[in-house]
Amino acid sequence: MKTTFFQVAVNAPLSTPLTYSLDPSKFENEINITRGTAVQVPLGKRKVHGVVLGETSPSNEFSMRSIDHILSEYPPLHDTYIKWVEWLAQYYMHPIGRVIHSSFPPLKRGGKRKSQNPPVIPSVEPSSPPKLTDEQKSCLQPIIDSSGFQPFLLHGVTGSGKTEVYLQILERVLSEGQTALVLVPEISLTPQLIQRFAARFPEKIAVIHSHLTEREKTNQWWSVVAGEKPILVGARSAMFCPMKNLGAVIVDEEHEPSFKQDEKLKYHGRDAAVVLAKLHGCPIILGSATPSLESWQNAQTGKYSLLQMKYRVAERKMPTVEVVDLKQLREAKKGLDHDPAERPFWMSPRLQEELTLNLEKGMQSALFLNRRGTAQMALCTSCGTQFECPNCAISLTLHGKSHLVCHYCDFSQQLPHKCASCESEEIETIGLGTELLETDLQKMFPQARLARADRDEISGRKDLEALIRNMDKGNIDILVGTQMIAKGLDFPKLTVVGLVLADIGFNLPDFRATERSFQLLTQVSGRAGRHVQDGGKVIIQTYNPGHSSIKYAKVSDYESFAEEELKERKDLAYPPFGRVTLIRVSSPQNSKAEGLSSLVYNRCEQLRNSQSKYQSVQLLGPCPAPLMKIRNTYRHQLLLKTTDAQCMQSFCYQLMGDQKWIPSGSKVQLDVDPINML
């Protein structure tokens, strides 16, 4: 029998597939090898997994190595899925073998044991659909009537019932014998949400996210691939489960930054989902109360169909939002020897009043602060020395009374009694975090039952499930948390929400800082009063009451905010009007990182000057990254900007070349459409 040759995408950092031979005489059983077949091949002195991309005709057959094994336990990846993987590898400039390797479960199939249902918590959610509002009906109908690929942006205020629209879409998809993919940010993938889907579609839901064990992930993967579960709910990585016969893709909270992966394959889950739906020829629904400006602009230009729900279900009002100017509060306190109400420095009289009233009513309150710990900084007031992480260019955060921790590399040390520089004992801590809030609240409201939700307290799925159970049962009076409590959670008795310091994030060196602040303020506010007629109450404490994110979040006016912010973006040619790629240069030595960033700059300038088609590419930098040192690695960066997406990709491929010009021990990494600019 004739030897054939195949292109194989191998699990290695190679930019192109490799060619391998297949000699049928070496295999005992009948061979059935097609595009998408998983194989084991030799690479150097080791054996690696790979996926066949198709037949080929090599120029030199004598040096060709042969395929060792066909991994027949895995069904071949179907062509539509492989096309999506090929797009991912090309667009985000990542080795295709590494991308396609994500398509398989972490463990071997566990015998014939039936896949377990996703872990869920008890719920009173009815399994039968509720009556839809007029807004829900008007948004659902165009989606049901659509045929083929059609992107929809579902813009609905918090509490307007977007999830019910999703559930109705899934019902229609299942009735037509198709499958569906539902993506939510990892932070929103709570047992509450899973329970709503599982209650409506018993035995038909698979779940994939990072809090599952490897065995649970493997079982869930097989339940989808084997056709046992037609609906997959998961975080961004769930897209790498090769589903067939997709009838709809849903991306909830599509604006969330966590849809972008920062490590290895730096893909954006939302954008990748749009391409996946396009290749499958099915509708995709992007839902959010605060859409990303990229998606909003696509809806304004007609690229996406805009569907809007402007009111909460059951005619419930939006929460009343009150802004407290902390500057005026500070001025009012001057001249007083003490705070007559014995309030902590971070609490305004209005916030104290609302917390007290809500406790008397037997309702629940939540305080939001996007900072963990007790204080953000410790320093010597005699000489000004700050206690910084030796591995990262960042101040250590105080936890408890004396434990200093780095939130980037987990370095920790005890708070010293004396300054190492001047031996002074005048050491003070500055700032606040969720831990301090909890301690102060215990003193103010000793009768209140408190809970804290941050990464120090909630380390896994079981912790989060326990917290949600206690909130649902009314065992918690005041919940203190970071952005972990900002979205995706729905508690019937939660009627007062306080944003302790809204200013965090306003002035970050990132063109999306204002957009993110507005989204966070709106999403946190949206937790209040979702099940009461008066809509609940939100207190926003800030030193910048005139900031545009607060001005528009206060009145839930997304459209005016978007109009103002888009005008600024257009003037500067930032997304969605321009495309950007961040070039990160890193090395264990700062001088080498700086030198390499200059080399990258020179290569960029040479490219721009040598080819007229690249004149539209703007180059910003090089400069040290805002977080210049993380885990003993120094980081510098450059930003490429252009209004021509194809020009950007071509430029980047030519810039990187064979990468042999990058010194050993240093890295040059490209982040296409970056979200994290720090």
Q: What is the CATH number of the domain that holds 82?
A: 3.40.1440.60
AA letter at 107: L
User: Is the residue at 596 inside a domain?
Assistant: yes
User: Is the residue at 363 inside a domain?
Assistant: yes
Element (H, E) at 96: helix 96-101
- Asked if residue 512 has pLDDT above 70, the reply is yes
Percentages helix, strand, coil for the chain (3-state, rounded to 5) are: 35, 25, 45
Q: Looking at the structure, tell me whether residues 495 and 483 fall in a common domain.
A: yes
- The answer to whether the beta carbons of residues 439 and 398 sit under 8 Å apart is no
User: Is the residue at 114 inside a domain?
Assistant: no
Q: Which of 265-279, 341-355, 449-463, 610-624 bottoms out in mean pLDDT, i.e. has the lowest?
A: 449-463
Question: What is the distance between the alpha carbons of residues 425 and 381, in angstroms, rounded to a whole number?
Answer: 9
Q: Looking at the structure, tell me whether residues 177 and 209 fall in a common domain.
A: yes
Task: Provide the pLDDT for residue 121.
Answer: 42
Task: Provide the pLDDT for residue 61.
Answer: 62
Q: Note the pLDDT tens digit of each residue in 17-61.
A: 999 999 887 777 777 899 999 999 999 999 999 999 999 987 776
- Asked if residue 106 has pLDDT above 60, the reply is yes
Q: Dihedral sign, CA of 364, 367, 370, 376?
A: negative
- Radius of gyration for the chain, computed over Cα atoms and rounded to the nearest angstrom: 27
Per-residue pLDDT band for 127 (boundaries 50, 70, 90) equals: low
Q: Looking at the structure, tell me whether residues 393 and 407 fall in a common domain.
A: yes
Q: Looking at the structure, tell me whether residues 402 and 502 fall in a common domain.
A: no
Q: Looking at the structure, tell me whether residues 357 and 453 fall in a common domain.
A: yes
User: Is the residue at 250 inside a domain?
Assistant: yes
Q: What is the CATH number of the domain that holds 286?
A: 3.40.50.300
Question: What is the distance between the alpha carbons of residues 572 and 213, in angstroms, rounded to a whole number?
Answer: 45
Question: What is the distance between the alpha carbons of residues 136 and 126, in angstroms, rounded to a whole number?
Answer: 18
Q: Note the pLDDT tens digit of each residue in 552-595.
A: 999 999 999 999 999 999 999 999 999 999 999 999 999 999 99
The SS3 assignment for 337 reads: coil
Question: What is the distance between the alpha carbons of residues 16 and 441, in angstroms, rounded to a whole number?
Answer: 58
Torsion from C-alpha of 256, 474, 345, 385, nearest 10 degrees: -60
Please identify, among 569, 597, 621, the residue that sits at the C-terminal boundary of a domain: 569
User: Is the residue at 307 inside a domain?
Assistant: yes
Higher local confidence (pLDDT), 3 or 8: 8
Question: What is the distance between the alpha carbons of residues 446 and 441, in angstroms, rounded to a whole number?
Answer: 8
Quick one: which of 246, 244, 228, 233 has its CA closest to 207? 233
Question: What is the distance between the alpha carbons of residues 20 and 141, in angstroms, rounded to a whole number?
Answer: 51
Average pLDDT over residues 390-409: 89
Task: Provide the pLDDT for residue 417.
Answer: 87
Q: Looking at the structure, tell me whether residues 482 and 355 fall in a common domain.
A: yes
- The answer to whether the beta carbons of residues 194 and 223 sit under 8 Å apart is no
AA letter at 447: Q
Tokens matching residue 657: 């070349």
- Asked if residue 131 has pLDDT above 70, the reply is yes
Higher local confidence (pLDDT), 507 or 367: 367
Count other Cβ atoms within 10 Å, centred on residue 112: 5
Question: What is the distance between the alpha carbons of residues 101 and 111, in angstroms, rounded to a whole number?
Answer: 22
Cis peptide before 622 (omega within 30 of 0): yes
User: Is the residue at 647 inside a domain?
Assistant: yes
- The number of folded domains in the chain is 5
DSSP state, residue 388: B
Task: Provide the pLDDT for residue 600.
Answer: 97
399's CB contacts (< 8 A; 6+ apart) are 372, 373, 374, 405, 435, 456
Per-residue pLDDT band for 120 (boundaries 50, 70, 90) equals: very low
Q: Looking at the structure, tell me whether residues 286 and 339 fall in a common domain.
A: no
Q: Looking at the structure, tell me whether residues 503 and 554 fall in a common domain.
A: yes
Task: Provide the pLDDT for residue 117.
Answer: 54
- Asked if residue 340 has pLDDT above 60, the reply is no
Q: Looking at the structure, tell me whether residues 611 and 647 fall in a common domain.
A: yes
Mean pLDDT of the chain: 90
> Residue 347 — φ and ψ, nearest 5°?
-105, 130
Average pLDDT over residues 61-82: 90
Question: What is the distance between the alpha carbons of residues 219 and 201, in angstroms, rounded to a whole number?
Answer: 19
Strands, E, within 140-208: which ranges?
150-156, 179-183, 205-208
Please identify, among 516, 543, 569, the residue that sits at the C-terminal boundary of a domain: 569
Per-residue pLDDT band for 124 (boundaries 50, 70, 90) equals: very low
Torsion from C-alpha of 43, 46, 49, 52, nearest 10 degrees: 30
- Asked if residue 445 has pLDDT above 80, the reply is yes
Task: Provide the pLDDT for residue 123.
Answer: 45
Q: Looking at the structure, tell me whether residues 402 and 501 fall in a common domain.
A: no
User: Looking up tokens 């629209």, which residue turns up?
Assistant: 165
User: Looking up tokens 């200059």, which residue turns up?
Assistant: 598
User: Is the residue at 109 inside a domain?
Assistant: no
- Asked if residue 442 has pLDDT above 90, the reply is yes
Q: Looking at the structure, tell me whether residues 557 and 631 fall in a common domain.
A: no
Which of 172-208 are b and which e, b meaning 16 or more Cβ less than 10 Å from the residue's Cβ? Answer: ebbeeebbbbbbbbbbbbbbbbbbbbbbbbeebbbbb
Percentage of the chain lying above the pLDDT 90 cut: 69
Quick one: which of 531, 540, 473, 466 has its CA closest to 502? 540
- The answer to whether the beta carbons of residues 254 and 287 sit under 8 Å apart is yes
Q: Note the pLDDT tens digit of each residue in 222-233.
A: 999 999 999 999
The SS3 assignment for 40 reads: strand
The winner for highest mean pLDDT among 484-488, 527-531, 554-558 is 554-558
Tokens matching residue 523: 């999403």
User: Is the residue at 108 inside a domain?
Assistant: no
Task: Provide the pLDDT for residue 62.
Answer: 64
Question: What is the distance between the alpha carbons of residues 49 and 99, in angstroms, rounded to a whole number?
Answer: 12
Question: What is the distance between the alpha carbons of residues 609 and 500, in angstroms, rounded to a whole number?
Answer: 51
pTM of the model: 0.92
Q: Looking at the structure, tell me whether residues 178 and 301 fall in a common domain.
A: yes
Instruction: Quote the domain boundaries for residue 26.
Output: 4-101
User: For the residues of 404-447, what is the DSSP string, one character each?
Assistant: EE-TTT--EEEPPSS-TTT----EEEES--HHHHHHHHHHH-TT
The number of angstroms, rounded, from the C-alpha of 596 to the middle of its chain's C-alpha atoms is 30
Please identify, among 544, 569, 594, the residue that sits at the C-terminal boundary of a domain: 569
